[in-house]
Structure 1
């Protein structure tokens, strides 16, 4: 593949990613504005707890305290 072809494909990928990020941000903002405050806080708290469990699990695996089954 030539340099020009690779640059064109990278540009196309960047345009697609930018468009998808815009659509995702638009949808997320729309959804966040239509959910009540307490429900939004609850969902964020659940997300943070799940993220914490994921991080602890990864750390335990790297330390060798947890083995893959």
Structure 2
């Protein structure tokens, strides 16, 4: 089951989770130190909703919430 938006093509991308230890300098410590960097993925907020096509037909598509909010799709009444 793909996790890609059918309208804009948004999909998951990779990043990092950074673990830090120590007390911040502004709190009186010697600063925060990075002790571990773990890979992770950022998933888009994909919703399966009913959409009206250009022809007027209603179909079910996977759409990201950004496309829903911006009005790029038309919901059936």
Q: Where on the TM-score scale, by shorter chain, does this alignment land: which range?
A: under 0.3
Which has the larger share of helix?
1
Which has the larger share of strand?
2
Q: TM-score, normalised to structure 2's length?
A: 0.21
Q: TM-score, normalised to structure 1's length?
A: 0.23
> Larger relative CO (CA 8 A, sep 6+): 1 or 2?
2
